[in-house]
Amino acid sequence: MDRHIAIPATGQDGAAVEPDAVRQDWTRAEVRALFELPFPDLIYRAQRVHRAHFDPCQVQISTLLSIKTGGCPEDCGYCPQSAHYEAGVKAEKLMDAAAVVGEARAAKQAGASRFCMGAAWRSPKDRDLDAVCAMVAAVKALGLETCATLGMLTGPQALRLKGAGLDYYNHNLDTSPEYYGEIITTRTFRDRLETLDHVRTAGISVCCGGIVGMGESREDRVGMIVALATLPVHPESVPINMLVQVEGTPLATGQAFDAIEFVRTVAAARITMPASVVRLSAGREDMSEETQALCFVAGANSIFYGPKLLTTPNPARDRDRDLMDKLGLVPMS
């Protein structure tokens, strides 16, 4: 018997649904059941969904630059850039636009199709936004897709960024609504949803995912995937991060996260958000080639490329190129 017959996809009312259909009505029970599937069945289902929407050998490549590092007033427990912790990250001023454009040009030459600019702010001040809008326009003029992550935005701020040519805005939900308060106390899950709504309304594509390995339960990972997969429109990009434990932050001392559970989370994101690009983000530096390969098989189809992810290390470009060659993967055109 074809084993996929034994793992039908069913919707809220229990009726069979196309396994690769884009739906926003995922329930906790359904997503929990995905996490509980035998690993071969989970991977098989993720592959079917992946192949229905993407070429499984293509990987989208983004580069991330910290344009304003450190001194952030937020208290995200995983983040060395928070001013609440002594993690050895020095607060810096907003980078000069010409330097940002130089980095973007180098990223393009190295094969990136999207350039993300990250600033450690709770939310941008209007004069900061003027500078970022100028950067966005200049990076866009190089022929790159543009992405920014600047903290919470108002509706008018999102519209200004759209007007400057911003293609994507990154704003992660981080974890489940229930666990959110354990990780961040200076803003709420609802604040995140509000900014996502402003970004969507402005016509900017959404990059939104989360982090695993922060001491959350599997039920929290289920809750995070449900929160993402039931947004009114699925994020176009879904970064799934593995916690990078940085000394000086409150989450520096937990146990290393189980790689298979990480792959399961990637597969659950792929299955529930079939048409979204699922990105392997933070944590790749500490991941074996085998784990990364399993993530690609589970439906991940994007990586950040370059030696640094904001302030934490990322595999060197040559190592990424070697791994992609070994696996027969090519940059997404």
- Rule CB under 6 A: is residue 207 a binding residue for ligand SF4? no
Please say which residue, 113 or 172, places its beta carbon nearer to ligand SF4: 172
Least Å distance, CB 301 to ligand SF4, is 24
Handedness of CA 240, 244, 249, 251 (dihedral sign): positive
Distance, CA of 109 to CA of 103 (rounded, Å): 10
Q: How far is CA 69 from CA 23, 209, 309, 311, in A?
A: 37, 21, 12, 8
Active site residue 279: yes
User: Considering only 26-34, 79-87, 108-116, 255-263, which stretch makes contact with ligand SF4 by CB under 6 A?
Assistant: 79-87
User: Taking Cα atoms as reference points, which of 119, 127, 129, 128 lies closest to residue 81?
Assistant: 119
Q: Which stretch binds ligand SF4 (CB under 6 A): 50-58, 70-78, 234-242, 294-302?
A: 70-78
User: Using the rule CB under 6 A, is 148 a contact of ligand SF4?
Assistant: no
Among 42, 59, 65, 79, binds ligand SF4 (CB under 6 A): 79
Contact pick of 31, 72, 199, 227 for ligand SF4 (by CB under 6 A): 72
SS3 string of 282-294? CCHHHCCHHHHHH
- Choosing from 76, 133, 208, 295, the catalytic residue is 76
Cβ proximity of 287 and 293 under 8 Å: no
Q: Is 55 helix (H, G, I), strand (E, B) or coil?
A: coil
SS3 207: strand
Query: CA dihedral in degrees (114, 158, 200, 305; nearest 10)?
Result: 20
Q: Which of 61, 64, 67, 76 is in the footprint of ligand SF4 by CB under 6 A?
A: 76
Please give the size of the binding site for ligand SF4, defined by CB under 6 A. Answer: 8
Say which of 45, 264, 279, 284 is annotated catalytic: 279
Nearer to ligand SF4, 79 or 271 (CB): 79
Residue 130: both structure tokens together: 């003027």
Interface segment toward ligand SF4; rule CB under 6 A; list 19-27, 73-81, 214-222, 246-254: 73-81
Residues lying near ligand SF4 in the complex (CB under 6 A) are found at 72, 74, 76, 79, 81-82, 120, 151
